[in-house]
Structure 1
Amino acid sequence: MVNFRKYLSSAAVLASGLFLAQSTVSTVLYSQAYDNQKSSLNLPSPITSVVEKTILSAKELVDINVNTMMADPVLKNATWGFVVYDPKTKKIISSYNENTPLVPASTTKLLTTETALNLLGENYRWMTQLEYSGNVDENGVLNGNLYVVGSGDPSLGTNKAGAYSYRDIISDFISGMSREGIKKVNGDIIIQTALFKGNISRLPENVVWLENNNYYLPVGTTREINPANEKLIVKKGNSFSGEKKYFYVSPYNSQMVFADKYEGDGILTTKLPDAPAYLANTLRATMVKSGMAVTGKVTPRITDANPESRKLVSAYKSPTLGDIIYYTNQHSDNSLAEALLKTVGFQSKGDQTSESGRVVVTNHLKAEGFDMMGLNYIDGSGLSRSNNVTPISQVKYLTSLMDEKYYKTYLTSLPIGGQSGTLKRMFVGTGNGQIFAKTGTLNKVKALAGYMKTNSGKTLVFSLLVNNYSGSVDMVKKRMEKILEPALDL
């Protein structure tokens, strides 16, 4: 924490006094007009800035800004932590509450995406294959089955990170069948993937149910979670069926999902739309529409006691893991982050559940020397408010990654201040192109952690986590910029 008593030079004391005198507006009560006031906090005069930079060092300016923010009406009642760290000297340059566990929001994705890179490699891809059994006769009739074999591709059909749409994948599949001389299928289309059988699992604790006016019911079961004030979005049914489905919005994939089971006592169970099933059903419909008849139906087969001999027709490869992680961090994509968590769980434990994923991530962090004090890793995306991390553990962790062979891919995946992703509207002026960081946002939570390239060419690591602030998100973002900007001169 900053201590002004260490500034012994009279020039520094004089300058800081001048600065604080001009910042007395920070002690007044908050009002809606606060951010519009031309105070020295937000709009310092050019003369003042020159005097400050001439008399004070960059470190002193960072420390002064941190102390000023303690009395700022937006942050004075908040719980927040900050640290700027030099990866070469392995020393803290400036800090405040750096050992305090705080809700990290989507900066949690820093841990999830790095674990996937470390365990799977940046060139890892998911495969979705079309195969057939039986034989094709002289008339082009396949007397056998088609198989859609999935591998848990989280980008399947989404167009995310350069992924193909369902239409493009089906076009490739149909072209493959034409090459094999298949004109008609006298059999079923069988979906064979065991990877998604664990969709129904216990939800992360304290997950966000109501955020930014959107209602979220994440995939899984609310048994033992008991979220307060469950609210129905829409109930769908028809007069010809007694079946009713309860629809909600999932934060993991930005799509409507439905509760297919009501367990009583306010407990609902939901599932994701099944991507392989959608692909297989769309494939069948497209084949029939184009005159390629299919006599059978689409049916899942998770286990197969007597597997048929099959021949590969076509294989679709997902974008690389590096590409998917780039998209995940740039767009803060919750769906992909949760899928990556399940993927590392499956690859390490053969069980594609969030529970297995959490064990794999935390074991990886321990093995890499992560400071586990204050860490509570609950989900892959950061939607749970029970996630906790300390600013100092974040910066030491980010520092350790600079020696990894995939560091360039990891760094490139982070939004750039003033230029890309979720940082495009921050650091538009000072710091433009110099801040490489993951953002995090929940109601009354704003987080930023990553790397900065200083004006002298140094690379520094920082973390700034703010919980329970007052005012708007934009007000907090301005103060975050104010704290970090002087560090660019270090």
Structure 2
Amino acid sequence: MVNFRKYISGVAVLAAGFVLAQSTVSTVLYSPGYENQNNSLNLPSPITSIVEKTVLSAKELVDINVNTMMTDPVLKNATWGFVVYDPKTKKVISSYNENTPLVPASTTKLLTTETAMSMLGENYRWNTQLEYSGSVDENGILNGNLYIVGSGDPSLGTNKAGAWAYRDIISDFKEGLSREGIKKVNGDIIIQTALFKGNISKLPENVVWLENNNYYLPAGTTHEINPANEKLIVKKSANFSNEKKFFYVSPYNNQMVYADKYEGDGILTTKLPDAPAYLANTFRTTLVKGGIPVTGKVIPKMTDANPESRKLVSTYKSPTLGDIIFYTNQHSDNGLAEALLKTVGFQSLGDQTTESGRKVVTEHLKSEGFDMMGLNYIDGSGLSRSNNVTPIAQAKFLTSLMNEKYYKTYLNSLPVGGQSGTLKRMFNGLGNGQIFAKTGTLNRVKTLAGYMKTNTGKTLVFSLLVNNYSGSVDMVKKRMEKILEPALDL
């Protein structure tokens, strides 16, 4: 917690003068034109700032700004927590409500992506293979089946993180058949993957399915629709609740989730389409149009009690996990984060479900000494409002990663203030290029956690989680910058 007593007495008269003249630490009375004033944050004049900096230390300025925000009209009724932590001394420099469990939004991805990198390695790749059974006769007729064997590649066909488009994968597969001398397929194209089996389960608790057109279904299918369009039309049902008007549907089970508020336009988007099915169907169509007849159908087969002997034709490798995590954190990609959660679950427990992934992540965090008090880890992306974490736990977790061999890759995956990803429009002045952090945004939730490079050459760790604020998200961003900027001089 902020401790003012140890220095307030020494600067009381000076501070009082600043309060009366500039209102830097007094309650700011809210008015309709509050945000439109030339000095919306009620900042002191440049001359006063210079005088303050010569009298007050950087830490004192951080503490005063935190104290100011307690009475700010945007934050005074919010629940929020803040901590700046020194990874070398292992001590808190400044804090407020650092032990309060708060909704972390997309800063949850910090835990998910680190677990994946720790367990799988930054060079891990997903393979999607084309194989065939049976034999090829002298006329180039394959009397057998083609197999597309997936491994849960979340980037398949998306162009994300350097992933190939579907047409490029299909072209490579077609060339593989040409090398084998196959001119006709007298059989089926069988999809063998367990990618979506885990989605036939209870939906995660309290998930924000769509909000401000920015949040997505963590599981979905597009059937014969191109997954690149990522759209699922929601059709009305006769089973509406009389009390709730808005609903969200998972296409993998008959479960409706009701909500009090809906801000969408009737079209929900999904970041986990049925990619293997689309790949297989498009591959079949391309072969037929290209003069390679396929007599059979596309058939999904999750398990195979009596597998056929098969020959490998071609293998498509995904981008590295490091590349996937870079894309995930820069763009705050919810679908990739949920896929990473399922992947670690599958690698450890042989089961690609959210439940298995959640268990693996929490066990990993325990083994790494994560402070589990106040942690509630529900999903991989931070879409659930039932996620909770404390600012101090986030800060100590980020500190613990600094000695890991993958720390540089992990750090580089985070958006940079004023320069990249979801932080490109924050810290365009002070802090530009010095803040490396994951952002999080839900309705009335704005969060930021990561690292800062100070003007004195230090690397500090911070967490700033704001729940139930008033005003707009841009107003909160300004307050977050106001709190963090003095810390750059620590």
Preserved CA contact (<8 Å) 2:127 2:315: yes
Code of the residue aligned with 1:418 in structure 2: it is G
| 1:31 CA drift (Å) | 3.0
1:163 aligns with 2:163: yes
Q: Secondary structure at the match of 2:109?
A: helix
Q: Structure 2: any 5+ residue segments left out of the alignment?
A: 221-231, 238-245, 260-269
Is contact 1:358-1:379 (8 Å) kept?
A: yes
Q: Structure 2 matches for 1:70-85, cutoff 5 A? A: 70-85=70-85
Return closer, same or farther for 1:169/1:467 CA change in 2, 3 Å cut-off: same
- Counterpart code for 2:17: L
Q: CA offsets, 1:204-242, max 9 Å, x none?
A: 11111452257865538xxxxxxxxxxx964399xxxxx
Change (3 A) 1:189 1:48: same
Residue 470 of structure 2 corresponds to residue 470 of structure 1: yes
Report what 2:267 is aligned to: none
Deviations 1:157-188 (A, max 9, x none): 11111111111100110011111111111111
Name the structure 2 match of 1:225.
Answer: none
| 1:4-403 equivalence runs, <5 A | 4-7=4-7, 10=10, 12-21=11-20, 22-23=22-23, 27-39=27-39, 41-212=41-212, 218-219=218-219, 234-235=234-235, 259=251, 262=254, 273-403=273-403
Where 2:154 maps in the other structure, the secondary structure is coil
1:393 alignment partner, SS class: helix
- Aligned match of 1:240: none
3-state secondary structure, aligned to 1:116? helix
Counterpart-to-counterpart distance in 2, 1:167 and 1:289: 14
Equivalent-residue separation in structure 2 for 1:72 and 1:266 (angstroms): 34
**Hey, what's the Cα distance between the residues in 2 that align with 1:363 and 1:264?**
31
| C-alpha deviation, 1:143, in angstroms | 1.6
Question: Can you list the C-alpha shifts for 1:135-168, whole angstroms capped at 9, x where unaligned?
Answer: 2222222121111000010111111111111111
The answer to whether the 8 Å contact 1:28/1:73 transfers is yes
Amino acid at match of 1:36: N
- The letter for the 1-side match of 2:438 is K
Change (3 A) 1:166 1:388: same
User: 1:15–1:320: structure 2 CA closer, same or farther, 3 Å change rule?
Assistant: farther
- How far has the Cα of 1:30 moved from its partner? 2.5
Supply the distance in 1 between the matched residues of 2:77 and 2:56 (Cα, whole angstroms): 28
Cα distance change, pair 264–196 in 1 and its aligned pair in 2 (3 A): closer
Do 1:29 and 1:73's aligned partners in 2 also have CA atoms closer than 8 Å? yes
Higher alpha-carbon deviation: 290-299 or 75-84: 290-299
Query: Structure 1: how far apart are the matches of 2:453 and 2:272?
Result: 41
Larger strand share, 1 or 2: 1
Deviation, 1:53, is 1.0
Q: CA 1:249 to 1:236, structure 2 compared with 1: closer, same or farther past 3 Å? A: closer
Equivalent in the alignment of 1:482: 482
Q: Secondary structure at the match of 2:89?
A: coil
Preserved contact between residue 25 and residue 39 of structure 1 (Cα < 8 Å) = no
Give the C-alpha shift of residue 265 in structure 1: 11
Q: After the TM superposition, which of the residue ranges 96-105 and 21-30 deviates more from structure 2? A: 21-30
User: 1 CA distance for matches of 2:257 and 2:438?
Assistant: 39
**Deviation string, structure 1 residues 399-443 (Cα, Å, up to 9, x no partner):** 000011110011000000000000000000000000000000000
Inter-partner Cα distance in structure 1 for 2:125 and 2:479: 41
In structure 1, distance between residues paired with 2:71 and 2:328: 36
Q: Say yes or no: does 1:443 pair with 2:443.
A: yes
CA distance in 2, matches of 1:359, 1:81: 27
Residues 289 and 19 (structure 1), Cα distance of their counterparts in 2 relative to 1, 3 Å cut: farther
CA distance in 1, matches of 2:8, 2:292: 85
TM-score by length of 1: 0.89
Q: Work out the percentage of aligned pairs sharing the same amino acid.
A: 83
Q: CA deviation at 1:266?
A: 8.0
In the superposition, relative to structure 1, how do residues 263 and 426 fare at CA in structure 2: closer, same or farther (>3 Å)?
A: closer
Structure 2 partner of 1:241: none
SS state at 1:388 partner: coil
Instruction: Give 5+ residue unaligned stretches, structure 1.
Output: 221-231, 238-247, 251-256
Aligned residues: 460
Give the aligned residue type for 1:483.
I
What is the CA–CA distance in structure 2 between the aligned matches of 1:306 and 1:234, rounded to whole Å? 39
CA distance in 2, matches of 1:182, 1:51: 81
Q: Which residue of 1 aligns with 2:430?
A: 430
TM-score by length of 2: 0.89
